[in-house]
Amino acid sequence: MSMKLNYLVATALTACALIATAGAAEMRKIAEIPVPGEPLASFDISYLHQASQRFFLADRSNKAVDVFDAKANKFIGRVAGFVGAVVKDGRVDNAHSGPNGVLAFGEEAWAGDGDSTIKVIDLKGMKIVDTISTGGQGRANENTYDPKDEIFIIGNQNETPPFTTMVSTKAGHKIIGKIMMPDATDGNEQPMYNPADGLVYQPIRSCGMTQRRAASR
């Protein structure tokens, strides 16, 4: 059950090795963590929280976010309650499957789901404590976090037009803004918060070209 996950990691490391300097040390696998439950046939973005060494995986096969201890190399637990892998015409429909992008900060993890919602996870209780609708029809996907203003930013790339949603991570989880992106005819990709200037940068795919857009707080 862990083979597909290990292949994903190996592929990422190989890609990194290709752009590394000639004198870099050879990369090698140092551990393998079994994943319980259904075979890991469909998954999406993962996230490593450096401080805690917790690794979070968007596990569509088990309709959950899986949590691992990357330092001790062990599976900690699973938070279920997501859409899972939606199959259409014999293939996984990525536009409506979930979980998708996942991010952890403080005592919470936030993840986009296939039904255009954001699920907020309490990491102490290992359960979903809030579901926030972004108002679309497809998945809420790639995301970033502004720790200064306590804002979670997530892209709705499968909408017409795509848009980006900004949600307060303070009590109440109010949606504080949406940025419509009519130029993103091929979707909006991974946003990234830059602490140096307080802006969020997000790649926009349009007519085969990548643009860059900065959104102020």
Domain covering 41-215 assigned CATH 1.10.10.10 in the classification? no
pLDDT confidence band for 166 (50 / 70 / 90) = very high
Please check the confidence at residue 5 and state whether its pLDDT lies above 50.
no
Strand partners, 46: 57
More confidently predicted of 155 and 209 = 155
Q: pLDDT value at position 205? A: 84
How many helices, marked H, and strands, marked E, lie in the chain?
A: 1, 17
Instruction: Compute the distance between CA of residue 187 and CA of residue 82 in angstroms, rounded to an integer.
Output: 23
Q: State the DSSP H helix or E strand holding residue 180, giving kind and residue range, or none if neither.
A: strand 175-180
Question: What are 6-60's pLDDT values in tens digits?
Answer: 333 333 333 344 444 555 578 888 889 999 999 999 999 999 999 999 999 999 9
Please check the confidence at residue 159 and state whether its pLDDT lies above 90.
yes
Q: pLDDT value at position 207? A: 55
Q: pLDDT value at position 23? A: 53
Question: What are 45-100's pLDDT values in tens digits?
Answer: 999 999 999 999 999 999 999 999 999 999 999 999 999 999 999 999 999 999 99
Count of other CB atoms within 10 angstroms of residue 105: 15
Q: pLDDT value at position 47? A: 96
Asked whether the beta carbons of 58 and 98 are under 8 A apart, the reply is yes
Q: pLDDT value at position 33? A: 92
Q: pLDDT value at position 92? A: 95
The terminus-to-terminus CA distance of the chain in angstroms comes to: 42
Question: What are 95-144's pLDDT values in tens digits?
Answer: 999 999 999 999 999 999 999 999 999 999 999 999 999 999 999 999 99
Q: pLDDT value at position 26? A: 85
More confidently predicted of 204 and 113 = 113
Q: In this structure, is the dihedral angle defined by the CA atoms of residues 94, 134, 50 and 195, taken in order, positive or negative? A: positive
Q: pLDDT value at position 160? A: 94
**Beta strands 143-146 and 151-156, pairing class:** antiparallel
The share of the chain scoring above pLDDT 70, in percent, equals 84
